[in-house]
Structure 1
Amino acid sequence: MTSPDNEPRRQSALRGLLGAAAVQGTRKVAVSAGSAVVGAVGWPVILAVAAVLILLALVLVITAIVALSRMSDQQQNFAYQCESRLGYSVGNTAALAVVPRLATSVPFDQAPSTAWETTALQPATTTSATTTTATPTSTPTTATTSANSTSPANPYATLTPPPTADANTTACANAVRNGDVVGPPLTTPGDEIGRQAATLANNQVGLLATDADGSTAGPTNEAFSAANLVRYAYYQATGGEVTLPKDVAQQIDTGDRVDPSAISPGDLVFFNFTPTQGPTAVMIAITPTLGIDATTVNQPIAVGVLPTGNIIVKRPRTQTHQEVPTP
């Protein structure tokens, strides 16, 4: 008589044998199929197909890496353009990732007609995206000192922020529409006109600092506002050829950005940035560490230590054909 305990063991052993037989059969079928394929097409063809598949995989990986790198570069460029107008705290927190990029090199020896390859945040509703051409002019500029025959067209000019954008991204998208494309920070000393502007500003020490006094012609009521002081200094230093904007937040849109390590007499140091509206204060440098301070209202204009930290330094362009750093 067969013991009940032996029956499960026999069934388990039988299942094991059947499974092993199935695996063995599958292997034989696979080997046979493989042999048939090799016999039909040959090893050279199989190796060639494998090489093509590996190459395609590598191309896809490289393409993905390049795309991610380009997105990172675009994001960094947009943040740089924004911080050059609104300060580090705004530019470095903007969430925008899709921005314009320059499709060809920028010619410096002629009026640029470079087409920008633009991907808009959200197309402007009133104007279509266009490529503008800067033209030389012999008349004094009244809005910006940096629009000249070597400045590339601003590719952000017709961008508007999407409705879902956060406050900083919206502020950045609005800010970069104005002014020139900002190139890398200058690391070279300023010129004689900058030194003349610094001297003119230095001569106003002792006058009263107010909100609105002064003009390009000189002080009014024995006083200057900070914005009007730098307007006066550059207007007089250039013989009336350069007229900076009247508002500090607009003045930062003009000229070339300067590395803080290269501050020279005449450079404009912007600070006291608002959350989304740009700077509210400006000093004109007279040395790498000192500047003319007309920012303390109802106090005498004085020589003060230049601020550090969240500052943006700009150098107004004073030469009609001055080269613009490549963005």
Structure 2
Amino acid sequence: MMMAGGSSWDDYKGPARLIIVVAVLLICCCGGALTAVGVPLGEMMSFGKKHYNYQCDIALGPEPGASTSATATPTTASVPESAARQQRPETNPYAELYFDPADPNVTDRDLACASAMKTAPIQDEPWQEINTGPAVSCADDLALRYPEVAGTATMADYARDVIYSASIAGSTGQCTPTRAPTATVVENCGDPTATVASVILPATVGDQGYCGQVVDPKAASPGDLVFWEYIDRRATRVGVALGPGEVVTVDSGKFVRLEIPRDAEVQIKRVLGDAG
């Protein structure tokens, strides 16, 4: 394959090749919007690199010692937030990324990101809206009532059961603690823009951390998931938010209610759709 200027595809290694792939993905998933507004190729590739890094940071957590990119999102004046939301693809275009582990230019973070993208929905800028609706009201109730009726649970099972039970409350007309079934499809897991019969999260905290749409901490709502203590590019703790200040989680086999940590590596993810 020949590129502009007579260069072949094989001349591009590691990061350079990745940026080209990302730029192509952006053109495909945004319906050519970036080119339609006359964005130069160099600027588009710069945007593509930032967009890719942002998607990775949201899924994996920011790199140790780096400032979180959750508040430094890759926006341009040409693509307003409302337009970006409308152009959101149904599936994550980065799910098709593949890196050769033997390539010396490919980092461990690239490999971890490619794996996470198989599960994670594509991310918008952090949502600013408070969530509402039957599922949210049920999650608010179950987050506190679940410990009384369900006994001891792991962090991951607590999150799975509360979210699943809340997600079906609107269709069943009941808000009762229910054990979540085993997840069989994890693509775009917990995407709050999708219309689904129920939200079934993966079995482990690390895999759950790839799910959902990132939310601004000030907009944290009942039923949003709070992830923190990222180790080896995976979340190790999860809880169910009660609002912008508190979260319920499991610690050493006991249910605890505590303040949402104010650490740069905390991610708040929305997995429940709103009233619409």
TM-score interval (norm. to shorter): 0.5 to 0.7
Match of 1:72 in 2: 46
Report how far residue 235 of structure 1 moved.
1.9
Paired residue type of 1:155: P
1:152 is the counterpart of 2:90: yes
Q: CA offset at residue 289 of structure 1?
A: 1.3
Cα distance, 1:90 vs structure 2: 6.7
Which residue in 2 is equivalent to 1:201?
Answer: 143
Query: What residue is the counterpart of 2:109 in the other structure?
Result: 168
1:76 and 1:174 map into 2 onto residues whose CA distance is 19
Change (3 A) 1:67 1:169: same
- Matched with 2:244 is 288
Aligned to 1:317: 272
- Mapped to 2, the partners of 1:305 and 1:264 lie a distance apart of 14
Bigger Rg, structure 1 or 2? 1
1:201 is matched by which residue type in structure 2? Answer: A
Which letter maps to 1:246? A
Whichever residue aligns with residue 204 of structure 1, its letter is Y
Match of 2:120 in 1: 179
Q: How does 1:55-70 map to 2 (within 5 A)?
A: 66-70=40-44
| Cα distance change, pair 107–262 in 1 and its aligned pair in 2 (3 A) | closer
Out of 60, 65, 70, the residue aligned to residue 86 of structure 1 is 60
In structure 2, do the counterparts of structure 1 residues 91 and 265 end up closer, same or farther at CA, with 3 Å as the change threshold?
A: farther
Counterpart AA for 2:266: I
Residue correspondence of structure 1 range 136-285 to structure 2 within 5 A: 151-162=89-100, 163-164=103-104, 165-192=106-133, 193-205=135-147, 219=150, 222-239=151-168, 241-276=198-233, 278-285=234-241
- Size of the aligned set, in residue pairs, is 190
Partner Cα distance (2:273, 2:156) in 1: 18
Classify 1:107/1:70 alpha carbon distance in 2 versus 1 (closer, same or farther; 3 Å).
closer
Secondary structure at the aligned position of 2:58 is classed as: helix
Q: Residue type of the partner of 2:92?
A: N
In 1, Cα distance between the equivalents of 2:94 and 2:65?
Answer: 15
TM-score for the superposition, normalised by structure 1: 0.52
Shift of 1:182: 1.4
Structure 2 CA distance for aligned equivalents of residues 237 and 223 of structure 1? 19
Q: Which amino acid aligns with 1:181?
A: I
Q: How does 1:124-143 map onto structure 2 within 5 Å?
A: none
Which AA in structure 1 matches 2:157? N
1:288 counterpart SS class: coil
Distance in 1 between residues matched to 2:114 and 2:221, nearest whole Å:
30
Shift of 1:170: 2.1
How much has 1:319 moved relative to structure 2? Answer: 6.1
Q: How far off its partner does 1:259 sit?
A: 1.1
Secondary structure of 1:282's aligned partner: strand
Contact 1:283–1:306 (Cα < 8 Å) also in 2: no
Whether contact under 8 Å (1:90, 1:275) holds in the other structure is: no
SS of corresponding position for 1:303: strand
Cα distance in 2 for residues equivalent to 1:68 and 1:167: 26
Tell whether the 8 Å contact from 1:80 to 1:91 is kept in structure 2 after alignment: no
Give the conservation status (yes or no) of the 8 Å contact 2:60–2:210.
no
Contact 2:131 2:274 in 1 (8 A): no
C-alpha distance in 1, partners of 2:64/2:56?
7
Q: Distance in 2 between matches of 1:204 and 1:248?
A: 18
Aligned partners of 1:85 and 1:253 also within 8 Å: yes
Q: Which amino acid aligns with 1:289?
A: G
User: How large is the RMSD of aligned CA atoms in angstroms?
Assistant: 2.9
| Whole-Å separation in 2 of the counterparts to 1:243 and 1:185 | 22
Relative contact order, CA 8 A, sep 6+: which one is greater? 2
**Is contact 1:234-1:242 (8 Å) kept?**
yes
Identity %: 26
Tell me if the contact between 1:283 and 1:293 (Cα under 8 Å) persists in the aligned partners.
yes
Cα displacement string for residues 9-64 of structure 1 (whole angstroms, at most 9, x for unaligned residues): xxxxxxxxxxxxxxxxxxxxxxxxxxxxxxxxxxxxxxxxxxxxxxxxxxxxxxxx
Partner secondary structure for residue 232 of structure 2: coil
Q: Is contact 2:136–2:222 with CA below 8 Å preserved after alignment? A: yes
Q: Does 1:297 align with 2:226?
A: no
**Counterparts of 2:42 and 2:168 in 1: how far apart (Å)?**
49
- Separation (CA, whole Å) in 2 of partners of 1:91 and 1:85: 17
* Aligned counterparts of 2:208 and 2:218: Cα–Cα separation in 1: 21
What amino acid sits opposite 1:203 in the alignment? R
